[in-house]
Amino acid sequence: MAIESFGTERAARRLRLGMVGGGRGAFIGAVHRMAARLDDKYELTAGALSANAENAKVSGEDLGLAPDRIYSSWEEMAEKEGARDDGIDVVSIVTPNKLHFGPAKAFLDAGIHVICDKPMTLTLDESLELVKIANDSGLVFVLTQNNTGYPLVRQARAMAADGTLGDIQVIRTSYVQDWLTTALDQEGQKQAAWRTDPKLAGAGGSIGDIGVHAFNLAAFISGLELESVCADLRSYVPGRQLDDNANVLLRYTNGATGTLWTSQVAPGNYNRLSIGVYGTKGGIEWVGEDNDNLQYTPFGEPTRTITRGGPGAADVANRVTRMPPRHPEGYIEGFANVYTDAAELIWAKKDGRDPDPGATDVPTVEDGARGLAFIEACVESSSKGGVWVDARPDL
């Protein structure tokens, strides 16, 4: 990979971006904005950044929005932006899970492309409905299961798809944190509170907040369809309404099996996302906190460390690489890759052309439904004492 090819933005055209959620006190909204800015493909133009009118106002001012593009209601924003000639091209929905479906439907109905945070909706039913709405709309819908944007995750997916690993037989994946080891959610911490409230987060606690990332990562890389799960969910902190630890067995339709573990009560783990995918010809291992390296073992040969931007990095990885090897990229860069690919998909629609093939490697509305099907299957399995439950959405 020639060093001069990194980080060429070639922007010129920027999409007008709106945002629902992400005002002061929020976390993930700022991440979306950094991701959108990094490659200069978007210009933040409008926002319903908070349901609280005052917070919406100051948050919009923080971000330099014009007064008439600051909304305190996403319904109003969808309506007005949809009606403007210079209305937003695309909206980012970065609210708690409960407020994904409504805005997504509203903006799609208003003819505005949608980028939506995960899990896609509060329930699988909502997700299945949103699949229809999005598909009928002809608009771009991108789900920010952001780990799919890491260059070496893209490469791992390609290695599974092209047969490098042989027939995939075994998967293990986990996403582990420790921040809910104590009853933070019951002490007024905003991020903890909504994530453990079934009315705002849905049926899944850790399984919905982070387990779904592990599920999605396994599906994205392996290309396999999850068939069923057997799950044991626990709320170890007294009084917590949703699970804070989940142990899950996985069965894929091709006969592969796996384990998925997610926890928010495992001291010493902050955001440890990890996966191994093993086939008849080789295995790969990747850890999110060391995202710039992929361990690849052709069976019977020494393990190779494939480094982002370095020897052995594939075209699909290089396409979304900004920096030379071992100048670390990270979470924001991976997130930005999803945004930049979303921009390409939108421009392709606008231009009436096929998108750059690589840009289609982003999570779809169907992937969102698969995530909800996974979450609900885990919850059902566990509530029945740990039985096998079909995890396939009716797509």
The answer to whether 148 and 118 have CB atoms below 8 angstroms apart is no
What token pair was written down for 307? Answer: 């480094």
Between 52 and 271, CB nearer to a second copy: 271
Q: Which is nearer to a second copy, 265 or 391 (CB)?
A: 265
* CB nearer to a second copy: pick between 138 and 188: 188
Q: Which of 321, 113, 119, 364 is nearest to 220 (CA)?
A: 364
Going by C-alpha positions, the residue among 214, 218, 217 that lies closest to residue 257 is 218
Q: How far apart are CA 332 and CA 320, in angstroms?
A: 12
| Contact between 170 and 280 (Cβ < 8 Å) | no
**Cα within 13 Å of Cα(71), Cβ side:** 19
Question: Residue 252: in which H helix or E strand, if any?
Answer: strand 245-252
Return d(Cα 12, Cα 267) in angstroms, integer.
46
Q: Give min distance, CB of 78 to a second copy, in A.
A: 24
Who contacts 187 (Cβ-Cβ below 8 Å, separation ≥6)?
none
Minimal distance in Å, beta carbon 380 to a second copy?
15
Question: Side chain identity at 310, as an amino acid letter?
Answer: G
Judged by CB, which is closer to a second copy: 43, or 109?
43
In the bound complex, what is the minimum distance in angstroms from residue 235's beta carbon to a second copy?
11
Q: Are 12 and 40 in contact (CB under 8 A)?
A: no
Least CB distance to a second copy at residue 81 (A): 21
| Min separation Cβ 156 and a second copy, Å | 13
Comparing CB distances to a second copy, the nearer of 84 and 190 is 190
Going by DSSP bridges, is the β-strand pair 245-252/293-298 parallel, antiparallel, or unpaired?
A: unpaired
Q: Residue 259, exposed/middle/buried by CB under 10 A (0-12, 13-18, 19+)?
A: middle
Residue 12's Cα: distance from chain center in Å? 27
- Nearest approach, Cβ of 192 to a second copy (angstroms)? 8
Least separation in angstroms between residue 76's CB and a second copy is 23
Residue 391 C-beta: closest distance to a second copy, Å = 14
Nearest residue (CB) to a second copy, 7 versus 125: 7
Cβ neighbours of residue 320 under 8 Å, at least 6 residues apart? 149, 151, 154, 337, 340, 341, 358
Q: Give least dist CB 384 to a second copy, A.
A: 11
Answer for the pair 119, 126: CB distance below 8 angstroms, yes or no: no
Q: In the complex with a second copy, which residue's Cβ is closer, 294 or 365?
A: 294
The residue among 134 and 233 lying less far from a second copy, judged by its C-beta, is 233
107 or 261, CB closer to a second copy? 261
